Amino acid sequence: MSRTQRWTTHLALGIVSAFMLLPFYWVLKTSLTGENIFVFPPSLVPEDPHIFYYVDVWYAIPFLRYLINSVVVSVIVVAANVFLNAMAGYALTREFPGKAATIMLFLSCMMIPFQVTIIPAYLITSQLGLLNSYAGMALPLGSTIVCIFIFKAAFEAIPRSLIEAARIDGVPDWMIVFRIILPLTKPAIATNVILSFIWSWNSFLWPLVIVRDASMQTLPLGLARFLSVVEDTTGALYAFCVMVLIPGLVIFLLAQKEFITGLTSGATKG
């Protein structure tokens, strides 16, 4: 690649990155100024920034309680996804009667939106006595088909000789998965962690259905309550969004390299 082509590539990437980061900058700027977002021409530089809106968010609602609830539910979801998806992904790499039908069933279930299954999910959660609980909020997201196939692709890239050698030595399958295979598939783990965390962190409909106690509400439900008690919502709403976005952005930035590798691990062989 010539120097001109490299400069052109870097310039194009810089322009694309600027357009992608501009909305995040705009949200952050508005959360510090509370300016009218409909003013034209818009101001690119924050004028008289302050953190008053963040203080309003913290004290207008029990933000810390909602934050703890979201963290607990997300931790349960992430742990369940890594454990269950790893076991299911390993099972799909093995040969067993009905394997093709099982894979087709999984792929078919991916086309069914959660809203269609929310009534049976509610009935099952109610019968298990998990309404208005952390486990109940985490239950529908405890395993996701997309992440199962991510693990499957990562496991299939590991040499079969390594697994067969461990099986000859008498190592049980569960130990093969968690002691041998998972340490070699960190990108798949990172992908599972990031995707399951984001899906759980942003979940609104399911907690809204099963939560009855206000003290068990998560941050998305807290946002709805916040909008009902705050009159001047422009700056405060954007401040709330920034405070909710920070954990997900931090986790993504810490594991972005493994995340991208995990998503592309099944694209090539060898």
pLDDT value at residue 268:
47
- Find where tokens 């099986």 sit: 167
- Rg of the chain on CA atoms, in Å: 23
- Per-residue model confidence (pLDDT) at position 75: 94
Residue that has been written with the tokens 């693990």 in this structure: 151
Which tokens go with 44? 């690119």
pLDDT digit string, tens, across residues 225-245: 887 777 667 778 888 888 888
Alpha helical stretches, state H, 34-172: 52-60, 63-93, 99-109, 114-127, 134-138, 145-156, 160-168
12, pLDDT greater than 50:
yes
Q: What is the pTM of this model?
A: 0.82
| Cα–Cα nearest to 133, from 201, 223, 218, 225 | 218
* The dihedral formed by the CA atoms of 51, 53, 56 and 62, expressed in degrees to the nearest 10: -90
- pLDDT at 98 > cutoff 60: yes
pLDDT digit string (tens) for 176-232? 888 888 888 888 888 888 889 989 998 989 999 999 888 899 998 888 888 777 766
Q: Could you give the maximum distance between any two Cα atoms of the chain, in Å?
A: 72
- Amino acid letter at 77? V
The pLDDT, as a whole number, for residue 206 is: 92
Between 263 and 62, name the one with better pLDDT.
62
